[in-house]
Every structure is written in structure tokens, then in C-alpha cells.
Amino acid sequence: MKDRLFVLLQYIIPQHLLSRLLGALAESRLPLIKNPLIKLFAKQFKVNMQEAEREDFADYVSFNDFFTRSLKADARHIDHDPAHLACPVDGAVSQIGDINAGQIFQAKGQEYSVNDLLGGNPAWSAPFEDGQFTTIYLAPKDYHRIHMPCDGKLLRMAHVPGQLFSVNQATAANVPNLFARNERLVAIFETEFGPMAMVLVGAMVVASIETTWSGLVCPTGKQVQTWEYADQQEIFLRKGEEMGRFKLGSTIVLCLPKDTCTWNAELQPGVTTRMGQMLAKLMSD
């Protein structure tokens, strides 16, 4: 009953207005606002500041600066084995497995279309129709920068407008097509094993999503907007390099072609992940 009330409330409240208001608060540089907010948040969610590059709360110019904090150089180990994919984020596995006939498993009784997830363009989704996926949820305490799981050349990007439901277990189990209806950013990369889609899913109170090549991505309007990079500029990112970040949390969905990899057997739904650890072993030709 508690979960149902939580989900029902999200259908009623003005999601985008609330997110914009909280986003403005998170960008405040006034010490009387940002310092207590950072300290309260860190205490409430037990944020490990010892691994942060800047351990002192006062060194952050805003709450968002704190939320997207960088880590010390030795805080994470990147699995550089060329036969492995590295985990792109800290978080927890929501789901992991195969894409069956274009459908991605969301939660018990819930599936959604990979074509819808990638913005409704069949040419983009075709390589993943019978592919593989993993969905990783980033909790408030987590490190909120997203890194490359392998070397990749950016081919195209899309911003898909949508709603801003929360993306926790309660909404995943009760909101149909959750990840394909929330606002999201889709990045398609060319890799040694074929195309790879990294989808950064927005959520309630997520102020914005940034990428390292375009900065803040926040187009207006209700239409999908796309950017092509393959023939315009060379954007190549190495395994472990930062590719984007969330301001106020959310989820990523990683999509791969069929028979690309064997997932790390330890990464079952609910298991905590750390950026850089082995996510999967690539299948040999």
C-alpha cells in the first residue's frame, strides 16, 4: 500500500516544476543554503567523503558541485583487461540479461521496448532487438559520474523528452514502461564489438544531465532531438574515461548487440556495483 501511494503521488504532482525548483536550490552558491544542505544530505545518506577528492564540505560551491564530486585518483580501480567490459557507474544492479524480441525486462510483470527507450528510431534500435542489457540504479549516496565501459567512438546522441518518475524499485514495479517514458539521453558508440547504447535516464528532481563533449543537455520542446557526430567531429573516449554525469541521481541502461558478452555472474539484481569493476567478459569471435 505504501508503494502504491508513493507511485500515485508521482502521477499527481507537477514533476517538471518540482524538479526545476529543486534544481535551482541545488545550484545555489549561498553558504547559508548550500552548506547545511550538503551536510544534511551527507549525514542522511552516509556519503563516504574520505574517497572524495575534496573532503571538506565548504570546498564545494553548490550542492550540485558536491553531488557530482570527483573521487581521489586511487578510489576506483578500472579493469583494463581488453577482454572485459568495465562497470560504468557506482550503483546497484536493477536488472541484467538478454533483450528478447525487442523487449527489456523492467520488473516482475513489466517490460518495455528497446526501440521506445532509444527514442523511437528503428535504425538505432535494430542492432539491439535481440541483444543484451543491464540497468543500474544510482542511489543518492553514490558517485554520480558515468564512465566508459570500453573504448568507443561517439556516433550520435538523442535527447528524448518525457516524464520524471522516480526510478527506485517501487516505481519500476508499478509504473509501466518507466525507463522508456522518463526523460533521457541516448548516446550511441561504435566499439570493437559493434554499436553500444548508453542511456542516461532522468528522474524525479534530477536537475540535469551533462556529457563531457556537449556539457549540459537540456533542450526545450516535446520532440526528440538528435545530434550526429560520426561525420562531423571525432569524439573518441577510452575505457574508464568520464562520459557524463547526473545532477541529482538516476539510472543508466546499457544495451549491446546479441552475443556480445557474458555478464559477471556476481552481478545479480540488487547487487552493489563499483565503477571500473568487471561488468562482463567479451565473447571471442
Catalytic residue among 62, 65, 84, 147: 147
196: helix, coil or strand?
Answer: strand
Q: How far is 196 from 133, CA to CA, in rounded Å?
A: 10
Catalytic residue among 79, 90, 142, 159: 90
The beta strand positions in 103-217, using DSSP E, are 103-107, 110-113, 132-138, 145-147, 152-160, 184-191, 194-201, 208-211, 215-217
Q: How far is 276 from 147, CA to CA, in rounded Å?
A: 8
The residue assigned the cell 536550490 is 25
Residue 62 among the catalytic residues? no
DSSP state of 126: G
Residue 147 among the catalytic residues? yes
Please name the helix (run of DSSP H) or strand (run of DSSP E) that holds residue 169, with its range, or none. helix 169-174
Q: How far is 81 from 239, CA to CA, in rounded Å?
A: 10
Q: Cβ neighbours of residue 83 under 8 Å, at least 6 residues apart?
A: 281, 282, 284
DSSP state of 161: -
- Do 28 and 34 form a contact (C-beta atoms < 8 A)? yes
Cβ neighbours around 11 below 10 Å, total: 10
Residue 237 amino acid letter: L
Catalytic residue among 94, 125, 166, 250: 250
Residue 250 among the catalytic residues? yes
Beta-bridge partners for 138: 250
Catalytic residue IDs: 90, 147, 250
